[in-house]
A and B are shown apart, each in its own frame.
Chain A
Amino acid sequence: MTTISSSPPQTFAQKAIARAGGLDRVEVGQIVDVRPDVVLSHDNTAAIRRIWQQFGQARVAIPERIAITLDHAAPPPTARHARNHAEIRAFVREQGIRHFFEVGRGICHQVLSEEALVLPGQMILGADSHTTHFGWLGAFGAGIGRSEVAALWATGELWLRVPESMRIVLEGELPPGVTAKDFALRIIGDLGADGGLYRSVEFSGSGIAAMGLESRMVLPNMMAEFGVKNAYVPPDEKTYGYLAKRLATRYAIGDREMDRSERDGPSTPRSLLADLKALALFPDPDATYVATHVYRAQELEPYIACPHSVDNVVPLSAVAGTRVDQAFLGTCTNGRLEDIAAAVEVIRGRRVAPGTRFLVIPASSQVLQAGLERGYIQALVEAGAVIGVPGCGPCMGNHMGIPAPGEVTISSANRNFRGRMGTADAAIYLANPAVVAASAVAGRIVDPREVVEG
């Protein structure tokens, strides 16, 4: 028997927005009032609170859906920053917000991932442009403004337009020394900083399936620099395993506030896996895409984004030899354990070059702890690196590694805009973690193989 489908196939974005809007299906271009599962804010929470107070409400609408981290200027570099944090803590207490993460816990996107606060098929909207990050686990993540977060606190609801979708396929496994960061830089370099403007990007292909989870996280995160609304990596057994383990820990410690997860008894990891699979959303095979770009992994190499724009991308060899004053390994893009491991592999038994600083800031306290357990942090300190408090560090120019005018930084972050790190007249190059570490050792931009073999 053949069945004739009455509804045309849908993309991930259509399905996720329909679900969050309580609708059966939605069309591209439609404006939908959605009720996101999680609403994220960070050091900007005090400013959002001041906007929200204009609504005259005593209580926020759905406190259990609010997640707040102190990460962007943490610990506070000035008394004004400290007062900002104090205002946020007062709000958290007064509204009874349980998903609150203190100074030192880490960067919002990393922490909410580790805490399994966002699940496949769910929607997170955040007052942070890299909220696209959560696509790594098959969720719909998009950045919004402060007023919009205030509106979500007040009503639980916000309008979204259903975006056109675009597919990016990675065929084959990345060769050694070429990372997800290089793939992301290549895409942005090829298609421009507005190449994905307003679109939903869906990643697929054998190269994505073969990637570890920490590498997958880089892709939707970096797609913020491609102009996208959200980006999506299809979840698989690896994804469910990561989340189930963390959910089980949370239930064990008695956190029963997960939306859609109110349970009668303690969940077994097996039933958690089944629940996660049931939540996951996948695009229909014949869904409509405005573009499809196919990359062959074997043809990629290490890339570097040159000042002052993320789409100013060249092969690493083109800028090799450029003097480096500061190397920075960290951020929500590349501050995880595999990034630190890649740096350690390059730097173990070597020294940071005289005249160069090497700053390493783990993305979270869990990353720091794992790095300590494996001896990575020891190796970095022995090599002359400086370890910072988990958080955003100097990524957006608040503190802990602001360059002097005229200095050159090589960074594992996602943005190299003029003034991004706090100094307008300073150059920022973006690269993968091994290149950052090798450049710290050489005091100039260099291919890691040269340092390791040379």
Chain B
Amino acid sequence: MVVLVGLWEVVVRSRVVDFQFLPAPSAVARGTGRLLTSGELVANLLHTLQVTLLGWAIAALLGIGLGLLLGLSETAWRYSMASIEVMRAIPPVSLVPVALLVFGFSIRMELTIIVFVSAWPVLVNAIHGVRGLQSELLDVTRTLRFSRPATIRKVILPAALPSIVVGLRLAMSLSLVLAVVAEMIGNPSGLGSALIRAQQALRPEEMFAYVLTIGMLGVALNTAFRFLSLRALPSLAGDPGNAG
């Protein structure tokens, strides 16, 4: 990493490659400093973070709720499977213009896109978690004479949890991507929109500052999620299929 950055600095400064708008790392650092002191970067970061988390939370609730319903009810599953497959196949970005038209330049438009896209992995993983339950465990609950609610609470839900956690993690990274895309095209606030404005103002060092910020935000969200999920569910660590 350090070597790469050093190489980049040398190559740009020595004009071995000469792009008009490729800043050297030192310039990017200066740009970042400027954005930090003016408070712009923090404000945009907070906006994107807030929208990502809010959208992710709504997607999680929707996905888990519907996923459990579809996983547990054979009828609900049969009637909705086809629609789910079709709707899931829509490329997320193609929804941005639609949402823009319906909701205008607003936070609602951003949230709608995030929720619509990130709910899928949660939903699908919840369904698979519930339906993928090993039949042995169901035999166990039957021979121990569990009621249906006890079976769901004590066996089906905990068994589906690792799969749901995987879905939640996928949804987290999707939420950030979709938040940035929505901001670039639609909602005029947040990191995505700041990135576009920096581009239009021909300030490459600020663009790179925002790109780096988005990347670091992604890493931070992922790390935080892993930390918290292992904290909450220590048994995930022991389950070899769900480590990492």
Are A and B physically bound partners?
Answer: no
